[in-house]
Amino acid sequence: MSRVSASRPAWLVVLAGGVAALQVGKLPPALPALQAELGLTLVQSGFLLSMVQLAGMSLAVFMGLWADGMGLRRSMVRGLCLLALASGLGAFATSVSALLTLRAIEGLGFLLVALPAPALIRRLVPPAQLPGMLGWWGAYMPTGTALALLLGPLFIPVWGWGAWWGLFAAVSLAMAAWLLRCVPADPPAVLALDSPGSLSPWPLADRQVAPSQAPNGAWQRLRQTLSAPGPWWVALTFGMYSGQWLSVVGFLPSIYAAAGVSGALLGVLTALAAAANILGNMASGRLLQRGWAPRATLWMGFGAMALGSTVAFASFTESLPWLRFAGVLLFSGMGGLVPGTLFSLAVRLAPGEQQVATTVGWVQQLSALGQFAGPPAVAAMAAWAGGWQLTPVVTVGCCVVGAVLAWMAGRLLPQAQSRP
């Protein structure tokens, strides 16, 4: 059997993540229509953007425990079904409060899809292919977002935002059926860390607990995860990345619409900004496979995000729109090195094989906290300043903190694997 056919179920897992990301990305291109129809303010739009992260910032680590218990594939299928239900109901929403509530429910479904995916990918591919596949998995969010940003400005003016919500309900339901049919069922029990048939990708030196210490109960897994430093450094670093990325890319349709850009050009520009992030995620997997230190790729990503956001929003580039767009591409494209690297670190710095989904849950929880706080903060600063010129105050600050956290996470890896 070829490597492609052998890893086909893992590619379906990545595709399912992209479908879940569509539910996040469907909102930005609909904001102008929702503002016109429902009278959304700028700050309300920020909360609507971030409301899908409410479940993540409060429940992600517990959802990770739940996903460990119910089974990885089963969790993803149920999450896709929940996304389909919430999006289908959202198509008929007539108030901001209803949309906010349904976005929170979509957040639960998103977690059930996203949290078990890295562990499921690890189970489905050989260890040598794992860094590359996790690099692709790191691109699931920008891929779904880019597709939604590209199609939304073309679809919504013709069919309306309600039909846009209904479309993604149907897509999520179809993906659930495909995943259920083509991805192998969950095994009846988790393999021991060092059992003869173990699929663990970690060298023995990378593991933080011995097999005899591997916890079985949910609360023991949670305690093992939160008492280890690795999950904390990775999660905090992810929060510094995710909050600023969603703030910039999420508001691009509104920024460009206010500048007089509309229709297909609006969709292409915003989709390109999100799609550039995919290239960074792919590059992170290749660089890690070639022996680059994770902190080196993280520093490159955060440095580029700081520079790109400054070029994109600072007042001295106001008369240079294409230079500003180049700054957005630099921000998103090179910033893609960050999530791909952090997903790899989350798998490697989990306390053990049984805590991978729980570790990813904790990473997702602090990532969601960043995404929940970032857009309203940037929107409030823009409203106060009368424009977007102070956005780099937020983004550069996040990059500096993220770079320090990346250094802390890199110290936990074996020295032999920390050389670029």
pLDDT digits (tens, 9 = 90+) for 17-47: 999 999 888 988 888 888 888 777 777 777 7
Q: Region 234-248: what's the mean pLDDT?
A: 90
Residue whose entry in the numeric block shows the structure tokens 């890690």: 288
Residue (of 398, 338, 66) closest to 346 by Cα position: 338
Closest CA to 168 of 367, 368, 18: 18
Write down the pLDDT at residue 208.
39
User: Which carries the bigger pLDDT value, residue 132 or residue 395?
Assistant: 395
Whether residue 419 has pLDDT greater than 50: no
Q: What is the mean pLDDT of residues 217-224?
A: 78
At 177, the amino acid letter reads: A
Pair 214, 192: CB distance under 8 Å: yes
**125-179 per-position pLDDT tens digit:** 888 788 778 878 877 887 887 788 788 888 998 999 999 999 999 999 999 999 9
Q: Which CATH class is domain 3-184+217-417?
A: mainly alpha
Mean pLDDT to the nearest integer, 290-306 = 92
Tell me which of 125-134, 138-147, 252-261, 381-390 is least confident.
252-261
User: Rounded mean pLDDT of 246-251?
Assistant: 81
Q: CA of 24: how far to CAs of 143, 163, 223, 230, 278, in Å?
A: 11, 16, 31, 28, 16
Domain boundaries, given as residue ranges, for the chain = 3-184+217-417
Q: Tokens at residue 30, please?
A: 């609909």
